[in-house]
Amino acid sequence: MSLPSATAYDLVVGGGPTGSAYVREVYEQHPTATILLLDAGPRLTGQPGTHVKNIPDPDGRARAQRASEGSGPAGRPGTRLLGSPELPAAALSTNVGGMGAHWTGACPRPGDGAIVPQSGVSWVPYTDAHPFHGQVMQLDASPVPLADGTGVEPGAVVGLGWFCAKDISPDDRVEFDDTAADACGLPALRIHYHYSDRDLAAIEQARKAVAEAGAAVGVPLDDSPHLLPAGSSLHYQGTTRMGPADDGTSVCDSHSRVWNTRGLWVAGNNVIPTATACNPTLTSVALAVRGARALLDHLDPTAGRSAPAARADKLPRAR
């Protein structure tokens, strides 16, 4: 498929929740703007809006899931495993935006077993004293499998998952190879990742907390909590992090403007500069709204909106 030149549009935006946030913010101020919203990946279903978790037909659902996995070892729907020794569960998305393949692990599966008002996911908040975020999940709405050989009625068992915040270190990074290419023809990447002493202490504290919570709500099916392989959350953050200055430790400023690059804003989980311990989409969308408003101020500084602080390098007008 060929696309018109990008110069035919006022704004070119990537898909997903953060791209949609940019589009909404721009359209509210400029309803006649011409915007190209890009999303890419395999076409899995004939009906827009369906994805592998809510296709009613089991055979159709299985076909869509296989199509969503792309080349290489299959990970969770919409991803393929990277085969990283340091981050064994690390996976790469096979499409941009995600709706066609895998929107959320908490999406109820179709089939037998009605979802009652008390089902779904209950959250246990992160605190300084307990540096992890907990989720108590009805098992047929959970991405974490039951213990081997366990058979239950839908909704009769809950799973408890405690998610720790990762200690931030410049040694945890993605490195691109200038000479080798991956299966898609892009520069091959290597992931550098390790647990710090603080990470290990938080993991041990979370093990104890989830065991106590499990004993409080019912009869545990497992002898003890188990640690999922590194990268299992798929909530990777900070690879194009924002920062206060163009000093080599960040990609963009606090309004998501890429340093010294004309007309380019970046959005997504990748811009989050701090450690989090829960699903990051809401944070990413909030930062996208902030970035979109800075974009509007940049394109039309006379619009009356409170302008963000000026940057050291003056940006030329973006398309």
Active site residue 235: yes
What region, left, alpha or beta, does residue 234 occupy, with left being phi > 0 and alpha being psi -120 to 50 degrees? left
**Tokens linked to 115:** 């979802």
The structure tokens 């992890």 sit at: 132
158-164: strand order across its sheet:
121-124, 132-138, 158-164
Cα-based angle 179, 185, 188 (whole degrees, multiple of 5):
45
| Distance separating alpha carbons of residues 221 and 229, to the nearest angstrom | 20
Alpha helix (H) residue ranges in the chain: 16-29, 58-68, 197-217, 281-299
| Distance separating alpha carbons of residues 249 and 262, to the nearest angstrom | 19
| Distance separating alpha carbons of residues 173 and 192, to the nearest angstrom | 5
Cα-based angle 23, 297, 253 (whole degrees, multiple of 5):
85
| Distance separating alpha carbons of residues 194 and 170, to the nearest angstrom | 11
Q: What are phi and psi of 12, to 5 degrees?
A: -115, 125
Of residues 10, 1, 12, 102, the one with CA closest to residue 319: 10
Residue type, 167: D
Q: Is 5 helix (H, G, I), strand (E, B) or coil?
A: coil
| Distance separating alpha carbons of residues 122 and 193, to the nearest angstrom | 30
Query: Looking at 133, 194, 235, 255, which residue is catalytic?
Result: 235
Catalytic residues: 235
